[in-house]
């Protein structure tokens, strides 16, 4: 996958989430919304390393992972906007998208992505398939018991599992440094006979290189890997979070390091892209995502009389 | 509404609770608060605001996202003589620490033959606020099923403070279910008692409230649904339907006497519950009523709760599964037309 693809992916993801933001004040998205804005480089770094059969289990902050895994953006946005055309027909919503076709799913409960990813990894190994499972978590989730339990099992049985930690420095308001016993999360790897690395998650090239290493470790049957990518959460934890626990200067400094701007400058100086081409990518992506938004807004919500439809898959009369 | 002119402090539910915690922590230095974002942030709903700056990090501690462990810590803390308040951010997350709640906190006093007390409050925000299947549950019925736990579910603003103070002073464990809507609702838009005195006070756990007296139908409910019930009752009163509302305040202990008295009078019972319907609050209330009152003397018994379905994301679906103002009103009108 080349740098231009990575850049395009980052810009598209950003505009995808910016389009979603439009649905908050209008109450089209009437519950919580967590965006990935600021964290695009990590998902872009996954580009080209995953097969369709690989599984990815994500979190409450899952839009970018879904997109990178190949979930149809129109159907994903429809789900986020509570529409019948959503990948879960509006039943799941933004925290709970499921797409078996891409082996993609997510959970709104912190720490619970890992055991599910482990289940995929077990199944792959049992069936001697050459696929791997990625469990995405935030830094905060790394302190959940599931982290230890999952990696212990994966390490003991050399299961094909990549734990991808998006370390944006905070679990809501709590700085990870206040609640972590070690300097990094990745250094826990040796306790689980796992591969581990902590990298700058603002540069998709760096992430991509690390993913490549981790994935080849896993695919060569050597057991699990922990890849920690350090990044920033540009917005409040969710839309509506006043974010009063971070100082103005902290936030200003963070925004100066926008990974998209930084990467565009990098590609410019490497002469991979011209200023014009960069602007074109911005324009096309914006048009694409806001075009989606327009279409999604025209869609219908699920019919009220279907509300009890999917409690069970089998008939339960009597 | 009735008391609107007397409201000098336009608090919301979370401020009322924070005030109770603050005052109780002032009075007993063994009382401590642990949970996610309870420190500098003051709680994601603000229910521990001002506590961190007043009492410091040792007594108001931001926890890592490790619910099972910090709930278990609460057990050890209690055994060591502390009185922990444990915040589990959303009721939906009780699942990840349920082990410590139902096998330790709820049982230790009994298992120890009365030797070991568990003066613990587990406070958590329940209720639907539009965030779909994993962030909208009530689950008070599930917890009430488990022995050894007092289950407190406030609705009026006055009770938010007074019941929290009682919960903290209780030497038995209390699971304290806040409702997200009420945590954010301000005094001036409360229909039930919105006045929160500044001084400390307690509301006893185990005594139901009767925010509306009426003669036609007894509506038994709890938490945010009390507000919806009051609004519906006000509306149907215009059509001559006189509803008596009982706010349970706590499920364990359950003040069934207040319910029975009312049902004997009205002979019509409607239980409204925002939790799942089956094997829960409505079934329990109705059973206790028919155990105590000859069912042939009752004219109607109905319940209205979430029809055993996860809370859907789309508003169009949510509106038909979560009891709301219109659906409650329609139930009342339907019942008034019946026997
Ligand atoms: C078990 C559980 N506890 C608490 C929460 C509430 N919560 C949602 S996201 C979050 C912070 C997660 O932080 P992190 O894992 O670093 O991910 P980030 O939000 O930074 O992407 C918390 C505490 C939850 N959803 N599930």
CATH number, residue B137: 3.40.50.970
Query: In the Cβ-directed half-sphere of B188, how many Cα atoms lie within 13 Å?
Result: 4
Mean pLDDT along residues B132-144: 98
**Following DSSP, what letter does each residue of B88-131 receive, concatenated?**
EEEGGGGGGGHIIIIIIITTHHHHTTT-S----EEEEEES-SS-
**For chain B, what percentages of helix, strand and coil (3-state, to nearest 5) are there?**
40, 20, 40
The predicted-structure confidence for A8-33, as pLDDT tens digits, reads as follows 999 999 999 999 999 999 999 999 99
pLDDT score recorded for residue A269: 97
**Following DSSP, what letter does each residue of chain A receive, concatenated?**
--HHHHHHHHHHHHHHHHHHHTTTTTTSS-S-----TT-HHHHHHHTTT--TTSEEEE-SS-HHHHHHTT--HHHHHHHHTT-TTSTTTTSS-TT---BGGGTEEE-SSTTTHHHHHHHHHHHHHHTT-S--EEEEEETGGGGSHHHHHHHHHHHHTT--EEEEEEE-SEETTEEGGGS-SSS-SGGGGGGGT-EEEEEETT-HHHHHHHHHHHHHHHHTT---EEEEEE----S-SSTT---TTS-HHHHHHHHHT-HHHHHHHHHHHTTSS-HHHHHHHHHHHHHHHHHHHHHHHTSPPPPGGGTTTTS-SS----
What are the chain A neighbours of B324 within 8 Å (beta carbons)?
none
pLDDT score recorded for residue B330: 98
Q: If you measure from the C-alpha of residue B159 to the centroid of ligand 1, how many angstroms do you get, rounded to a whole number?
A: 30
Report the distance separating Cα A218 and Cα A215, nearest Å: 5
For residue B104, is it within any domain?
yes
Given B157, B189, B221, the domain boundary residue is B189
Task: Give the CATH class of A3-297.
Answer: alpha beta
- Complex ipTM, two decimals? 0.91
pLDDT score recorded for residue A316: 78
Query: In the Cβ-directed half-sphere of A257, how many Cα atoms lie within 13 Å?
Result: 16
Report the distance separating Cα B250 and Cα A196, nearest Å: 49
The reply to whether B176 and B253 lie within a common domain is: no
List all residues 6 or more positions away from A115 whose beta carbon is below 8 Å from its beta carbon: A146, A149, A150
Report the distance separating Cα A193 and Cα A185, nearest Å: 14
Q: Which residue of B has its CA nearest to A90?
A: B314
Report the distance separating Cα B43 and Cα B57, nearest Å: 14
What are the chain B neighbours of A149 within 8 Å (beta carbons)?
none
Kindly list the strands in the beta sheet with B243-247, ordered across the sheet, starting from the edge strand earlier in the chain: B209-212, B243-247, B217-221, B268-276, B300-306
Query: Which residue lies with its CA nearest to atom 18 of ligand 1?
Result: A138
Q: What is the band of A52 on the pLDDT scale with cuts at 50, 70, 90?
A: very high
The reply to whether B213 and B180 lie within a common domain is: no
Query: Which residue lies with its CA nearest to atom 2 of ligand 1?
Result: A110
- pLDDT higher than 80, residue B271: yes
The reply to whether B183 and B251 lie within a common domain is: no
The reply to whether B127 and B52 lie within a common domain is: yes
| B135 assigned to active site | yes
The reply to whether B149 and B216 lie within a common domain is: no
Q: Is A238 in the pocket of ligand 1 (CB under 6 A)?
A: no
Report the distance separating Cα B42 and Cα B38, nearest Å: 5
CATH number, residue B322: 3.40.50.920
Note the residue count of chain B. 339
What are the chain A neighbours of B98 within 8 Å (beta carbons)?
none
Domain count, chain B: 2
SS3 for B226-284, per residue? HHHHHHHHHHHHCCCCCEEEEECCEEECCCHHHHHHHHHHHCEEEEEEEEECCCCHHHH
What are the chain B neighbours of A84 within 8 Å (beta carbons)?
314
For residue B5, is it within any domain?
no
Q: What is the band of A294 on the pLDDT scale with cuts at 50, 70, 90?
A: very high
Report the distance separating Cα A131 and Cα A143, nearest Å: 27
Q: What is the band of B1 on the pLDDT scale with cuts at 50, 70, 90?
A: very low
CB contact residues (below 8 A), chain A span 46-65, against chain B: none
Query: In the Cβ-directed half-sphere of A243, how many Cα atoms lie within 13 Å?
Result: 16
For residue B290, is it within any domain?
yes
pLDDT score recorded for residue B4: 65
For residue B199, is it within any domain?
no
For residue B196, is it within any domain?
no
Cross-chain residue pair A301–B134, CB shorter than 8 Å: no
The reply to whether B55 and B155 lie within a common domain is: yes
Task: Give the CA distances from residue A269 to residues A255, A275, B8, B119, in Å, rounded to whole numbers and listed in that order.
Answer: 21, 10, 63, 64
Q: What percent of chain B is modeled with pLDDT above 90?
A: 98
The reply to whether B160 and B278 lie within a common domain is: no
The reply to whether B61 and B127 lie within a common domain is: yes
The reply to whether B179 and B244 lie within a common domain is: no
Distance of CA A292 to the CA centre of its chain: 20
Q: Is A168 in the pocket of ligand 1 (CB under 6 A)?
A: yes
- pLDDT higher than 70, residue B135: yes
Q: Is B70 helix (H, G, I), strand (E, B) or coil?
A: helix
Query: Which residue lies with its CA nearest to atom 12 of ligand 1?
Result: A171
Give how far B203 is from chain A: nearest CA, Å.
Answer: 32
The reply to whether B65 and B154 lie within a common domain is: yes
Given B160, B189, B218, the domain boundary residue is B189
- pLDDT higher than 60, residue B3: no
Task: Give the CA distances from residue B194 to residues A175, A249, B160, B183, in Å, rounded to whole numbers and listed in that order.
Answer: 36, 39, 10, 13
Q: Is B310 helix (H, G, I), strand (E, B) or coil?
A: coil
The reply to whether B75 and B169 lie within a common domain is: yes
| Residues of chain B contacting A, Cβ within 8 Å | 36-37, 39-41, 44, 62-69, 92-93, 95-96, 129-136, 307-310, 312-317, 319-321
Q: If you measure from the C-alpha of residue A137 to the centroid of ligand 1, how many angstroms do you get, rounded to a whole number?
A: 9
Query: Which residue lies with its CA nearest to atom 9 of ligand 1?
Result: A110
pLDDT score recorded for residue B117: 97
For residue B204, is it within any domain?
no
Within an 8 Å CB–CB cutoff, is residue A240 touching chain B? no
Cis peptide before B253 (omega within 30 of 0): yes
Q: If you measure from the C-alpha of residue A307 to the centroid of ligand 1, how many angstroms do you get, rounded to a whole number?
A: 28
- Rg, chain A, Cα only: 19
Q: If you measure from the C-alpha of residue A115 to the centroid of ligand 1, how many angstroms do you get, rounded to a whole number?
A: 16
For residue B18, is it within any domain?
yes
Q: What is the mean pLDDT of chain B?
A: 97
Q: What is the extent of the structural domain holding B299? A: 209-336
For residue B195, is it within any domain?
no
pLDDT score recorded for residue B5: 67
The DSSP code for B313 is S
| Domains of chain A by residue range | 3-297
Nearest to A145 among B66, B309, B321 (CB): B66
Within an 8 Å CB–CB cutoff, is residue A30 touching chain B? yes
């Amino acid at each position: 996958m080349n740098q231009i693809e990575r850049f395009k992916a980052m810009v598209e993801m950003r505009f995808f989430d910016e389009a979603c933001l439009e649905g908050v004040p209008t109450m089209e998205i009437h519950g919580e919304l967590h965006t990935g804005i600021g964290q695009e480089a990590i998902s872009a770094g996954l580009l080209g390393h995953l097969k369709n059969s690989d599984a990815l289990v994500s979190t409450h902050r899952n839009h970018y992972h879904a997109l990178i895994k190949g979930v149809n953006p129109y159907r994903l946005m429809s789900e986020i906007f509570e529409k019948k055309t959503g990948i879960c027909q509006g039943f799941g919503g933004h925290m709970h998208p499921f797409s078996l076709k891409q082996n993609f799913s997510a959970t709104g409960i912190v720490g619970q992505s890992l055991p599910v990813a482990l289940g995929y990894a077990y199944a792959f190994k049992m069936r001697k398939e050459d696929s791997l499972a990625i469990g995405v978590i935030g830094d905060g989730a790394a302190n959940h018991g599931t982290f230890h339990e999952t990696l212990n099992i994966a390490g003991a049985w050399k299961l094909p599992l990549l734990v991808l930690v998006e370390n944006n420095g905070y679990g809501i308001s709590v700085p990870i440094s206040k609640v972590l016993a070690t300097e990094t999360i990745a250094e826990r790897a040796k306790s689980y006979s796992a591969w581990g690395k902590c990298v700058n998650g603002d540069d998709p090239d760096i992430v991509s290189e690390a993913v490549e290493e981790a994935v080849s470790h896993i695919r060569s049957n050597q057991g699990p890997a922990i890849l920690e990518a350090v990044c920033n959460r540009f917005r409040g934890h969710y839309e509506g979070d006043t974010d009063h626990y971070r100082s103005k200067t902290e936030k200003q400094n963070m925004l100066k390091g926008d990974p998209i701007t930084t990467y565009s400058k990098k590609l410019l100086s490497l002469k991979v892209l011209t200023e014009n081409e960069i602007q074109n990518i911005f324009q096309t992506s914006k048009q694409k995502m806001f075009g989606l938004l327009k279409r999604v807004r025209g869609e219908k919500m699920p019919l009220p009389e279907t509300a009890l439809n999917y409690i069970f898959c089998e008939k339960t009369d009597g | 509404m009735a008391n609107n002119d007397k409201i000098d402090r336009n608090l919301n539910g979370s401020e009322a609770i924070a005030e109770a915690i603050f005052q109780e922590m002032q009075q007993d230095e063994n009382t401590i608060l642990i949970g996610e974002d309870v420190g500098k942030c003051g709680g994601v709903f603000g229910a521990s605001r001002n506590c961190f700056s007043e009492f410091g990090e040792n007594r108001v501690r931001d926890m890592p996202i490790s619910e099972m462990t910090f709930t278990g810590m609460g057990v050890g803390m209690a055994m060591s003589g502390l009185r922990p308040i444990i915040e589990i951010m959303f009721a939906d997350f009780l699942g990840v620490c349920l082990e410590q709640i139902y096998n330790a906190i709820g049982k230790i006093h009994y298992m120890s033959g009365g030797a070991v007390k568990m003066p613990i409050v587990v406070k958590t925000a329940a209720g639907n606020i539009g965030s779909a299947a994993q962030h909208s549950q009530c689950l008070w019925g599930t917890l009430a099923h488990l022995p050894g736990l007092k289950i407190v579910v406030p609705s009026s603003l006055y009770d938010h403070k007074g019941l929290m103070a009682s919960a903290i002073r209780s030497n038995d464990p209390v699971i304290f279910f806040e409702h997200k809507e009420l945590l954010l609702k301000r005094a001036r838009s409360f229909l039930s008692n919105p006045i929160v005195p500044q001084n400390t006070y307690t509301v006893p756990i185990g005594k139901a409230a009767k925010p509306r007296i009426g003669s036609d139908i007894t509506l038994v409910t709890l938490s945010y649904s009390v507000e919806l019930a009051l609004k519906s009752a006000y509306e149907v009163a215009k059509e001559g339907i006189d509803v008596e509302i009982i706010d349970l305040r706590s499920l364990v202990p359950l003040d069934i006497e207040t319910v029975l008295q009312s049902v004997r009078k009205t002979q019509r019972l409607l239980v409204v519950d925002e939790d799942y319907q089956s094997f829960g609050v409505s079934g329990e209330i109705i059973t206790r009523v028919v155990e105590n009152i000859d069912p042939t003397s009752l004219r109607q018994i109905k319940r209205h709760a979430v029809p055993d379905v996860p809370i859907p994301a789309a508003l169009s679906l949510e509106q038909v599964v979560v009891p709301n103002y219109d659906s409650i009103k329609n139930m009342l009108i339907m019942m008034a037309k019946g026997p």
